[in-house]
Structure 1
């Protein structure tokens, strides 16, 4: 077998040579098998018999070394995979990362052991069957869900979509991983909005562009308020220009029904993303809304570009959809309703769609010129 002496000779050596000789034979046999390339079926079966005899008899270090060598083989049967997994020790993670193929049975055995680091490694693989995926999604582990969220070979739909969306609400790293994906509906990350990076907050808002949404419970609160949109934007602009953010917090709490902690986050959000949601939900136009955002935000590097992006969002995002996003912050809606066909965006984002350049955005220019004329200083 594989250039060795007959199998009976190995049996005799194992039985009469002691542990030291068994260790040597195990390492030599595993090394020879790994170098063999693609073995024939009889060769694989004969090696399985030999390996099953050698591994239990050899010492711990020899078993780990032999398993590491065997793990580099081009082809492993489920039986040999099990020997590798059971004996490789600290090298298990690299083996699971680099193995060209793994049988479902091997992966299911690892999941059954609830080895979280190993399961998280499995969750990054491209060859996961639905049976294995179902078991991984049943695990109550943040590490596993973070790996699943970042695995672009997993299509987020059905039960998988629901599980990932729920996990994003509890783990900001899962939310960030999903935010980086183009195949995940960023609108489902609304409950994790304040845990996301600046770019991904804007991505959540953009996911509501040109999109119908179910009726938002908070819409009734907005309708019952007697505050006119113009008065609201003037009040906010004045408070932000004077850097009176605690008073902004109180005002937002009074008009939105959101708790003061959340309103404090909005008042101190220098990116302007969360404030944009409030302004648009109350029907603010780009012209009035940008006046507030100019004073509330910090745009030292790319001020014009950020303002231009918000200007475009004022026209693309409806007040109703931003009210729905506010309701999501309060946990009042089932965001998975957005996966229904009637709530899908009207148009899909195209790479060919040209965005208006910041320098040529008339809404931004008018807002900045108006502020210059009335002499209102920006908040420090």
Structure 2
């Protein structure tokens, strides 16, 4: 077999040589098979029969070593994969990561054992069948979902999209992984908004640009307050300019219905992303909104670039969509409705279509510079 010993000789040695001889034969046979390259079907079937006799008879260390060697073979049948998985021991994860191909049956057997680390490794592989994916998505494991969220070979749609969106609400690492994907609708990360990095918070807001949304439950409350939008922005600017953020927290709690902990996060968010959502939801214009953001945001980074981005968002994002985002924070909406055709963005970014952030705009720059010169002493 395999060009170095007849099969009958192996059988005789197994029967008469004892455990030590079997250990040697197992490692030699696995090494010969791994070096063979791509075996023929008769060779594979013959080796399956031999390996099925050698593995149970050999000692634990020899089984683990033989399985590790066999795992490097170019082609394994499902039966040989099963022998590797059952005997490889601590090297199982390395095998699952490096194996060029794995049969569905092998993967389903591993999932059936509920070995979380092994299942998470499988969830990161490419070429997973729908049968395997369905089983992985049924697992209640953060590690598995983190791997699924980061796997660019899995298209987030249908039931997979729903499962990933729900998982993002419970695990910030899943939300962050999904935020890095270009094929995932960042608007679905709205409930995890405060767990995201600064860049991904802005990405969520951008996802609502040029987009219709269902009517938000909070819309009626906002209508009652929006008539006093100028007074609201004036009050916020004064409070932020005097660094009275606890009072900002209480004011936001009164007008938004969000709990004080969440409003405290908004009041102390020096990036301005969450405050922008509030301002735009209540109908603030770019001019009034930027005046508030100038006093609320940190001075430790390039503020002009950030404010220019917010200036474009005031023009591209509707108050209705930000009201919907606020309702998502309150857990009042089903975000999966956004996957319906009528709620898809009106425009798509392409080579001919500029992104949501505008190119260098002297008018916007001049407005920001003028607003930046407004000192705290002039806030009233």
Q: Is the shorter-chain TM-score for this pair beyond 0.5, marking a shared fold?
A: yes
Alignment of 1:185 onto 2:185 = yes
Q: Deviations over 1:290-320 (max 9, x none)?
A: 0100110014222111111000000000000
CA distance in 2, matches of 1:182, 1:34: 40
- 1:348 alignment counterpart: 348
Q: TM-score w.r.t. structure 2 length?
A: 0.96
Q: Secondary structure at the match of 2:8?
A: helix
| The 10-residue stretch of structure 1 (48-57 or 295-304) with the greater mean CA deviation from structure 2 | 295-304
Q: Deviations over 1:233-268 (max 9, x none)?
A: 111011001100000000001111111111000000
Describe how 1:139-158 pairs up with structure 2 within 5 A: 139-158=139-158
| The 10-residue stretch of structure 1 (234-243 or 219-228) with the greater mean CA deviation from structure 2 | 219-228
Alignment of 1:101 onto 2:104 = no
Q: TM-score w.r.t. structure 1 length?
A: 0.96
Deviation at 1:61, TM superposition (A): 0.5
CA contact (8 A) 2:225 2:282 kept: no
Q: Deviations over 1:264-299 (max 9, x none)?
A: 000000010000000000000111100100110014
Describe how 1:46-57 pairs up with structure 2 within 5 A: 46-57=46-57
Q: Deviations over 1:90-122 (max 9, x none)?
A: 111011011000000000000000000000000
- 2:194 alignment counterpart: 194
- 1:167 alignment counterpart: 167
Q: Secondary structure at the match of 2:322?
A: helix
- 1:76 alignment counterpart: 76
- 1:235 alignment counterpart: 235
Describe how 1:23-102 pairs up with structure 2 within 5 A: 23-102=23-102
Q: Secondary structure at the match of 1:225?
A: helix
CA distance in 2, matches of 1:369, 1:148: 47
CA distance in 2, matches of 1:73, 1:331: 51
Structure 1 segments, 4+ long, off by >4 Å, are none
Deviation at 1:165, TM superposition (A): 0.2
CA contact (8 A) 1:240 1:296 kept: yes
Describe how 1:307-318 pairs up with structure 2 within 5 A: 307-318=307-318
CA distance in 1, matches of 2:298, 2:351: 28
Deviation at 1:365, TM superposition (A): 2.5
Describe how 1:261-340 pairs up with structure 2 within 5 A: 261-340=261-340
CA distance in 2, matches of 1:165, 1:102: 28
CA distance in 1, matches of 2:8, 2:377: 92
Deviation at 1:367, TM superposition (A): 4.1
Aligned residues between the structures: 377
CA distance in 2, matches of 1:329, 1:49: 60
Q: Secondary structure at the match of 2:73?
A: coil
Alignment of 1:257 onto 2:257 = yes
CA distance in 1, matches of 2:313, 2:378: 22
CA contact (8 A) 2:229 2:283 kept: yes
